[in-house]
Amino acid sequence: MSMFSTVQPAPSDPILGLTERFIADPRPDKVNLGVGVYQDENGSLPLLRCVDAAEQTLAGQHRPKGYLPIDGLPDYTREVKELVFGPGSPAVMDDRVVTAQALGGTGALRIGADFLHQLSPEATVLVSTPSWENHRALFTRAGFTVRGYRYYDPEAHGIDVDGMLADLAAAPAGTIVVLHACCHNPTGYDLTADQWDRVIDVVVAGGLVPFIDMAYQGFSQGLEEDAAVIRAFAARTDSFLCSSSFSKSFGLYGERVGALSIVCADADEAARVRSQVKVVIRTNYSSPSTHGALLVSTVLGDPQLRLAWTQELAGMRDRIKQMRGALVQGLAGAGVPDDMSFITDQVGMFSYSGLDARQMARLREEFGVYGTDAGRICVAALNPSNVDRVARSIAAVV
């Protein structure tokens, strides 16, 4: 008998499973609104011009392929610190922020989870209800008990802020709270600055450990605005974690470029934390890969390319906003009587459409429009050629 004969098949990833069904669908006018990938107005995944230019520059250089340091390319982690914490950040200036290059935002979350678990194995992790599916899976796999805090209020098409605050206030000190910095996935609803202040009050007063996940910096209002919550936490507490990613903002999905940053009380503590984070990395994959980090640091380190990047990022952000508006208009035009303007209140790549699993199944089966069973659609995959068809399909199932 094979030693693997008792291995049970794992359930397929819900989003990737959806993509497989989409690919197998023969209808030419099918639309994939499942996976969170930005597409341009032609429905293609763009290669950012600034990335293309950096790639040309690097291709012309003679670069032996040595190992990177365990915590990554120093130019890259320096640029990450500035983007995430802002130029002149007191915490960064005091040398008490540890930033390690990571394999995307997911890798950053996992390094952070492993580091925290070693420190505090009995802690509970709280994630928003709902949250990106992998939050729960990843922290569970790292050994934590994971529970939810209230977040989405379907009746109000918004956030249950009082519920969220109550759940955080009830959590014991040391509880790890995963927060979305901006562009909440899957709902598209972000807290206002005032609501964030109240959340920070509760988190700080309760001695909770914030782990802020920033996978979409620049996709809501702008690079600085979207990181405001990081700066607000940095002003109020001297211990929290932040995972960040360039998958979306640079269109570098497959290059796996992200970072974990840990804010500490002082430089000495930061040095000790860094040494432990390096052990986590060393025993997982030894050191990160070079190419993506070089691309990002080349773009950010060159004033012209950096400007080009911020413009291309603004272009992606604006296109998504236009598509939200076009979808709301299209739904009204297709005869949906309900006020669907909440879609333009939401930000980022996703919209919680309010459709239930049965309606989402009809969208797929009858119209070839693919979103998740929870009703999440990726608005970044809408374009002028498909938005009306999507609107008419939704109108037919509501």
Residues belonging to the active site: 132, 213, 248
Closer residue to ligand PMP in complex, CB, 247/383: 247
232: how many CB neighbours lie within 10 A of its CB? 15
275: how many CB neighbours lie within 10 A of its CB? 12
Residue at shortest CB range from ligand PMP = 104
Give the pairing of strands 124-129 and 176-180: parallel
Task: Tell me the closest approach of the beta carbon of residue 346 to ligand PMP, in angstroms.
Answer: 14
Give Cβ neighbours of residue 238 (< 8 Å, ≥ 6 apart). Answer: 91, 96, 263, 264, 265
Q: What is the DSSP letter of 186?
A: T
Beta strands in 21-81 (DSSP E): 31-32
Helix%, strand%, coil% for the chain, nearest 5 = 45, 15, 40
H or E, element range at 167: helix 161-169
d(CA 47, CA 33): 20
Closer residue to ligand PMP in complex, CB, 159/340: 159
Closer residue to ligand PMP in complex, CB, 106/372: 106
d(CA 390, CA 370): 10
Closer residue to ligand PMP in complex, CB, 294/340: 294
Beta strands in the chain (DSSP E): 31-32, 97-102, 124-129, 145-150, 152-153, 158-159, 176-180, 209-214, 240-245, 258-263, 350-352, 369-370, 376-378
Query: Please, which residues bridge with residue 177 across strands?
Result: 126, 210
Closer residue to ligand PMP in complex, CB, 132/342: 132
Q: What are phi and psi of 118, to 5 degrees?
A: -65, -35
Closer residue to ligand PMP in complex, CB, 181/331: 181
Residue 348, CA distances (Å) to 222, 317, 381 in order: 11, 8, 12
Residues making contact with ligand PMP (CB under 6 A): 36, 104-106, 132, 180, 185, 213, 215, 245, 247, 253, 258
Task: Tell me the closest approach of the beta carbon of residue 343 to ligand PMP, in angstroms.
Answer: 19
